Structure 1
Amino acid sequence: MPDRPPFPGRPAQPPGPTYLQYSPNGQRLIVAGIGDFARSFRTNDNGEPDLLPSTHAETFAAVSGNDYVILGCEDGTVCEYAVPSGDLKQLLVRATLPVRDIALSPDEQWVAVSSDELEIKVINRNDIEQIAILRDHPKPIKHLSYDPSGKYLAASCTNGVIYIYDMTSEPTIYRTVDGVISRLETAESATSRCVWHPDGRAFACATATRDIQVISVGDGAHQRTFSGEHTGQITSLAWSPNGALLASSDSDCLVIWETKTQKMLKRFNYTDILNITWQNQSENIFNWTTSNGEVFIIPEFLKDEAHVKLLKGSKVGAPFFHDPLLDTAAAVNSRRPLVNGQAKRAATPDSLDELLGPEEEYDWIEDDDGAGYINGNGKRTNGHLGNGIGPLAKRNKPDAWQTQVHEPVQPGATPWKGNRKYLCLNLTGFVWTVDQDTHNTVTVEFYDRELYRDFHFTDPFLYDRACLNETGALFSAPAKDGQPAVIFYRPHETWTARSDSRVSLPDGEEAVCIALSSRYIVAVTNKNYVRVWTLFGTPVRIWRMKSSPAVTCAAWGDYVMTVGNGPVGADGCTQLMYSIDNVRQDESCQSEDVLALGTVAPESDEEETSLKALFWSDAGDPHIYDSNGVLLTLMHWRTMGQAKWVPLLDTRLLDRLKEGKKEETYWPVAVADNKFHCIILKGGDKSPYFPRPLLTEFDFNIPVCRPVEKSKDNEEDEGEESNAAVATRLKETYVRSSVLLGLLDDLVQGLGERASHSQKTEVMKRELDVDKILLQLLAVECREGEERGMKALEIVGLLKDRSGKMLEAAAKVAGRWGRTVLEDKIREVAERRQMGIEEE
């Protein structure tokens, strides 16, 4: 049986669709509908509302300022009226079909209008000549809504797709969200509107299953869901001003939800509700309109003291599965940054200030885990700053120097997006997990399903890291509910009844990063220990890293590479230091050497260059990929003090990115077959998401010199390359081939007598290939003329062949082009080499 509201409805419009919105200061509630007028109800005033009698058609949309209202009508006009006089101020725009929705930007400068036409018009209120037309959607738009910052405009299309436009400069599509809202015609009473949470990071929308889905705008991931209370199509949604409550309605009921828990707090069986809204200044006033043209204004709407406390309390963040800001706060709180080389600090600025921005902007963060980073008023405390003496100094960034510590990196893992993330992505397969609140579910899938079998299991330990290779899968889980942190290994093949192994770490110790080779399990922990076990859990080695806090690790065969934060550089950031150890022989190949990260790219938003991935290639050489998009390999790493980082590919210089035709970045996966394997990320994406992305491979291309652009004179001769272009290509090929030869030669020298015949043969083949490239480069120089003879002779001196065959071939190349002087010089070189005289 329907409930009766505590106060009777106030007549506002003739029966039919009725719309309402508060002015920004909360002093007026505008109600419009199918009458040729609108009404302005004054907050906390029971007198007669002000009448705006100038509309000339049915009103289908309304937005309000403090002293004006903008109405969109059935005749296609969008007009601005003064409040309370109702005088027409200006005609903003006219459409040929009925207007369906209007959105006013938070700065009240821009008005977005949708109609039954296939376009959105965005008009400047102060200069109606400034207008932008958005046409990226194929069907009419039913609803429009700006986010609280005005950066994004969400458009709910009748085709069931949400189009999110970036409005910061020239409006462009930021992302689309499909498969959430229903396909609704513009005149239907059900809603598909994106209702932005007050913190601006997510919006809620009604789904086809009559639930309410929260979507994070940054990655488009599905976050928490409010479900199970609506049996009819949802007609309206509204967040409370502080984001702590969500109200939703259908034709038979009104439901109040708690944002943090997604639980229903109160259900009212009120009927015929079309649109709802909270009073926007946190007063306990709730409002709705009905299909009878009535407006209900209910003061002291919430009766329960706990519910009122939620409404009037501190701000609450959007309901994420894994809130990135809370994760950042907890991470910084658990590991204090180093300042001037000291772990403890006093009277220094809070590291969260730079990570999270101004305190008042994020005072909605709640102390869910009891970590102590907020106080009872919702503000972050300074209790985690150490034993400060006296009050905190004023937060003045230029005066306070603070070290930037590199965060831990698990190779192949992605951050949480909604309730799922990849634990591992490589060429063997991928591991992903889904947060089910009480437990997780883990899925392991392989590319070669003839060789391996996919598997899936329920995960009560909440594994947060994983490794996958040809021998097995490795997982780690943090400590939980008094249970220790665990390391779990599962082999792909077994000949016993139970083959997996589980290792519990000591109390207070958790894995920061894990690695898996064909022989060993490796875990770097928060105590800076490197722990090494055999595949089935027998401890082999343990040592403490010299650089701390630990960042990452990777393993291949008998070798373990670890990376940690080292000394502080001149830029205030810690230098990353790496070590490579041979576990079987208990020897160090490299010890505490600098990981060569470059400087920040000019177009990058990052404050410093960071490490994105560390992995070993299929040939057993270490590689890193940094935030500038540069892939580097480590040469001569088997010899102490001789290692050097060599760039193999700068993805910013790829041909596909030239002329600004594509906006994309690359997620590193592996190096195999002398190629870089990655996942292409489009637009503003920072990590891969579901469904499973496809892998792309790029050939190495060492940035030796600037590529030669094709001249206009040669555009007609498409089949011919200029001498300069050929020389540039050959120079890069020579350097790249030399690097790959050096890596293989290091491997053969390191194996010694254990090197196979095929490996030794491959070294000789690659030496020959390098000399062939030099001969081609020699031919290019000879073609340029006699004046290039000295450079040509230098190239001859780079030939590795000592038998004289290559020098004879070089002399013939010079003779073919008539470079007789050069030919004589080459033959002199050949004679000196035969006599064992080295060139100076």
Structure 2
Amino acid sequence: MASVIAPRLRPRPAHTPGTTRCAYTPDGSKLVTVGSNNTIRLYKTGFDGEPTNVDDCQEQNLALATSKDFFVAASEDGTVSYYALGDSNMFDRFLLRTSLPVRDVALSPDARWCAVASDELTVKLVGVQDNTQLLTLKEHAKPTKHLAFDPKGSLLALSCTDGVIYVYSLTADHPELIRKVDGVIGRMETEAESCCRVAWHPDGRAFAVPTPTRSIQVVSKNDWEKQRAFSSGHDGDITAVAWSPNGALLASASRDKKLLIWSAKDQTVVARYEYPNVMDIAWHPTKNLASFTTSDGEVFICPDFVPEQFASLLRLPTQPAPFIHDPLAEAGANGRRPEPNGAALPSRPRRGSLDSLEDLLDDDNFGDDDDGFVVDDDGAGYTLNAARKRAAEDDGALGQRPSKRGNFVQPQLHPSFQPGSTPWRGNRKYLCLNLIGFVWTVDQDSHNTVTVEFYDHEFHRDFHFTDTYLYDKACLNDQGALFSCPPKDDRPAVLLYRPHETWTHRSDWHIELPKGEAVLAMSLSDTFITVTTTGNYVRTFTLFGIPYRVYRPKSTPMVTCASWRDYVLTMGNGPVGADGMCRLLYTIENIKRDEICQNEDTVALPDGATVKSVFFSDNGDPCIYDSTGTLLTLLHWRQPSRASWVPLLDTNLLPRLASGRKHETYFPIAVADNKFHCIILKGGDQYPYFPRPLLSDFEFSIPLTSAPSKKKSKKQTSGDDSDQDMFSDDDDDETPQQPESLALTQSYLLKSLHASQLSDLLSSTASTASQRALLARLRLEVDKTLLQMLAVECREGGEERGMRALEVVRLMGDRSGRMLEAAGKIAERYGRGVLGGKIRELGEEVEGEGEEEDY
């Protein structure tokens, strides 16, 4: 995109040389400027005459913020002054006084709070209407040079002199530091002319900030990672940055005497101005008009600020922030907006009634904002009134009551996902994470770089390659690696399979999908490759690229898939449930035998929950991990209509979380060796990032009761160890106070489950002698556990618990003479004579049943 050199404008002397700031009022009717002298100037938009002067003001004003009815100016003497707008345009009162010079002020979007940054170590939030309301931000270590509210007013970003951006959340009663963004801005003094101000993009999902390398870096609010950058435009330190009202353009100035206008979409310069010493830039909220001030005290008001050939960009609706990989764009193929950082989909009221109009305001039908809301600047409630009026007009046009407007009923689809992968974070993402290894990719603009690493280097060697196809999904096992890329322009989606070793010359192969068809999810087993696509197809290939089966599933759109040997599990969206979400349905089939084990059965999820991952265990049993933090396995899945989801672990009940001080989530990896393998995520993260974190594993624990309390060490009880607890994992060394009976019950349930799954496997396959011996040992272990439970009942309970003890004996799978004899000896040992008699009677009943069967 070629840039335009704009003509030079006439300066307007406004203040004496020194720091000069400018800002438009929200309605664009006035431009306010402050400077080094004791005069504030108000320029009426569209009027070329002399400005209105406010002479009753402080000298050396360094900062300015405007609202619809007033503006706030901050002075080097430490005062923050409130000025009324209107007929008077006069000083009203002081909002705040500080002991050191004030460097910046900002008003919240609702104009209720004013944030004040000074050379003091703290930042003050003062109530505009009642300045006795005062909040102090003090978790940053150095003075603040700039500060900025995000468009919703829920976050406040502080650019401090130590080169760190501190982000505070304002949603709680007291502001809370939620993030330190380091490595973006440089260190500088508060009085330096160079700028490190955070400029929030109008869509609220990212901000731009100048860097020491004379570029402007975009940082996403979702993960605080670097996104696109505006670079190679300035040769001097940047002094001012400002987004256009719709975020389509970015204006910047630097000490190289250049004022540039950038296209946000492709980060190219569309216009150049030559002006020295520019300190501040302000866009008009609705017109092709902008103003800027210089350290010479001059003001420039620029009609047709954007050249004619690019002025149409200002008339666009709010444009998305320039991400390397925009989550909104990637979710477009699934027909729904992504939830932030992998959050569970919330339940919503049914749309189409006046009771849910407030919810409708969050819909894409109202407003062009990416966040889906309409801003009510003056608090008059016109947005809700407009929505009600529009609903009434729709009723008149359709001749129907709101409850019958079917166009507002929008079922919430479960988004598709690739198990074991993560979304883009900056320019990196994991394509696959499992117990074999991991695959990750780096976006290099013109191409990607894909790296495959293995845990066991004795069997496989790591490799990497330059990726011009831009693969976005991968699978990895002991046989090979599978990759897929989305369609782009006229190029179709492509599958790449790379075997690790073959007995012939190793050769990779590619398969192109039909034009316009994209991969939603794919899986790789020892025998087959399974791919689900946006064309509502399930495509199965052999490991050498031979198409084996193609069919259209009943549940669409497809969500994900997993495979193990000849078995394939597919998931798709089914009927809409009472919570407005589509029910997830799954199908399991044996591809080679052409047998369906489970056909369109329901995935057991609580209301509003989603599936985070699906995989087969090392024993070949399907498992899911959901957004509630629960791991479940499928029992009796080889027998049609008998499958049931059984919880193996509820991570919310882990002993390490019992104290309530530790807050962490878990990224599922696999189920192997009767353990849950995962990555522990701290600090509110939902996905792992680089450097690659270590794997952790947890023993199964079927949820039976609340998390057990733990014995605290002396170190814990002697003082505050919250910081150490946040970053250490020595909770595993603490002993949970768990009753013996509960531990035995857990052992009984888990061993019974394992024996049941193994029995299902042996009944459907040609079993080996070792497998049959293992099943016999497992059943024996179950009975031994029951004997231990019987001993606990006899030892801890009296005769009143005799019926419970007898019930334990009845649960034994092998009630032969040997087991009942052992149970009788336990009862005799603890002096439970009545119980011993009942056990003998049970043995006689078993013998009688055996004689009848023989007869």
Question: What TM-score do you get using the length of structure 2 for normalisation?
Answer: 0.84
Question: Cα 1:153–1:542, aligned 2, differ >3 Å: closer, same or farther?
Answer: same
What residue number does 1:430 align with? Answer: 438
**Other-structure match for 2:269:** 264
Q: Is the 8 A contact 1:414 1:688 kept in 2?
A: yes
Q: Is the 8 A contact 1:163 1:177 kept in 2?
A: yes
Aligned pairs for 1:192-341 within 5 A: 192-251=196-255, 252-279=257-284, 281-302=285-306, 304-332=307-335
Query: 1:157 & 1:298 partners in 2: Cα distance?
Result: 32
Q: Identify which of 721, 739, 753 aligns with 1:739.
A: 753
- The answer (yes or no) to whether the contact 2:164–2:181 under 8 Å persists in 1 is yes
Q: How far apart are residue 16 of structure 1 and its match?
A: 2.0
Partner of 2:345 in structure 1?
none
Query: What CA deviation, in whole Å up to 9, does each residue of 1:28-72 have, x standing for no partner?
Result: 222223334433333233333333344445322221223432222
Cα distance in 2 between the residues matched to 1:593 and 1:430:
32
Choose from 801, 825, 829 the match for 2:838. Answer: 825
Report the alpha carbon displacement of residue 398 of structure 1 after superposing the two structures with TM: 8.1
* Residue 708 of structure 1, CA deviation: 6.5
Using the alignment, how far apart are the partners of 2:537 and 2:11 within structure 1? 69
Label 1:709 to 1:331 Cα distance change in 2 as closer, same or farther (>3 A): closer
Coordinate RMSD, CA, aligned: 3.4
Structure 1 equivalent of residue 655 of structure 2: 655
Write the distance in 1 (CA, Å) between the matches of 2:234 and 2:745.
Answer: 68
Distance of 1:805 and 1:133 partners within structure 2: 74
Cα displacement string for residues 341-377 of structure 1 (whole angstroms, at most 9, x for unaligned residues): xxxxxx999xxx97962434326799xxxxxxxxxxx
What's the offset of the Cα at 1:515?
0.8
1:451 aligned residue: 459
1:76 to 78, 81, 104: 78
Cα distance in 2, alignment partners of residues 795 and 647 from structure 1? 23
Task: Work out the CA distance in 2 between the residues paired with 1:760 and 1:527.
Answer: 44
Equivalent runs, 1:670-685 vs 2, <5 Å: 670-685=670-685
1:132 equivalent in alignment to 2:135: yes
Structure 2 CA distance, aligned partners of 1:202 and 1:324?
12
CA distance in 2, matches of 1:804, 1:77: 93
After the TM superposition, list the runs of 4 or more consecutive aligned residues in structure 1 that deviate by more than 6 angstroms: 353-356, 390-395, 708-712, 718-722
Q: How far, CA to CA, are the matches of 1:506 and 1:20 in structure 2?
A: 56
Alignment-mate amino acid for residue 763 of structure 1: L
1:578 maps onto 2:583 in alignment: no
Q: Which residue among 26, 29, 37 is the counterpart of 1:24?
A: 26
Tell me which amino acid in the other structure corresponds to 1:262: Q
8 Å contact kept, 2:655–2:709: no
Q: Which residue of 2 aligns with 1:786?
A: 799
1:149 equivalent in alignment to 2:152:
yes
The runs of 5 or more residues in structure 2 that have no matched partner are 338-351, 373-393, 718-732
Instruction: Answer whether contact 1:635 1:743 (CA < 8 A) is retained.
Output: yes
- Map of 2:363 onto structure 1: 357
8 Å CA contact retained: 2:362, 2:371: no
Q: Deviations over 1:285-328 (max 9, x none)?
A: 222221212222222333x3222222234332212233333343
| Per-residue deviation, 1:236 | 0.8
Range moving further from structure 2, 246-255 or 623-632: 623-632
User: C-alpha separation between the residues in 2 aligned to 1:395 and 1:161?
Assistant: 55
Change in CA separation of 1:803 and 1:423 when aligned onto 2, cut-off 3 Å: same
After TM superposition, the score normalised by the length of structure 1 is: 0.86
Structure 1 residues 240, 719: CA separation in 2 closer, same or farther (over 3 Å shift)?
closer
Per the alignment, do residues 446 and 395 of structure 1 end up closer, same or farther by CA in structure 2, a change over 3 Å counting? farther
Q: Structure 1 residue 241: deviation in Å?
A: 1.1
* Shift of residue 21, structure 1, vs aligned partner: 1.9
1-structure distance, mates of 2:426, 2:470: 16
Aligned length: 785
Mark the CA change 1:348 to 1:22 in structure 2 (over 3 Å): closer, same or farther. closer
Larger deviation, residues 77-86 vs 25-34: 77-86
Cα offset, 1:183, TM superposition = 1.8
Equivalent residue letter for 2:219: I
Tell me if structure 1 keeps the 8 A contact 2:519–2:534.
yes
Shift of 1:393: 8.4
CA offset at residue 831 of structure 1? Answer: 4.1
1:395–1:243 Cα change, 3 Å? farther
Q: Distance in 1 between matches of 2:494 and 2:675?
A: 35
Kept after mapping to 2: 8 A contact 1:707/1:728: no
Contact 2:667 2:680 survives alignment (8 Å): yes
Question: Does the 8 A contact of 2:655 with 2:708 survive in 1?
Answer: no
User: How much identity, in percent, do the aligned residues show?
Assistant: 51
In the TM superposition, residue 546 of structure 1 has moved relative to its aligned partner by 3.1
Deviation of residue 228 (structure 1)? 0.8
State the 1:137 CA deviation.
1.6
Question: Is residue 729 of structure 2 the alignment partner of residue 725 of structure 1?
Answer: no
**C-alpha separation between the residues in 1 aligned to 2:361 and 2:464?**
37
Contact 1:314–1:364 (Cα < 8 Å) also in 2: no
Match of 1:103 among 106, 111, 117: 106
Q: CA–CA distance in 2 between the matches of 1:575 and 1:4?
A: 58
Question: Structure 1: which amino acid aligns with 2:132?
Answer: E
1:382 equivalent in structure 2:
none
The answer on 1:532 being equivalent to 2:545 is no
d(CA) in 2 for partners of 1:838, 1:439: 77
After superposition, the C-alpha distances for 1:762-804 in whole angstroms (9 at most, x for unaligned) are 3333333333332332233221222111111101111234444
Question: Aligned ranges for residues 39-58 of structure 1 at < 5 Å?
Answer: 39-58=41-60
Q: C-alpha offsets along residues 452-474 of structure 1, whole Å, 9 cap, x if unaligned?
A: 32222222223232111122110
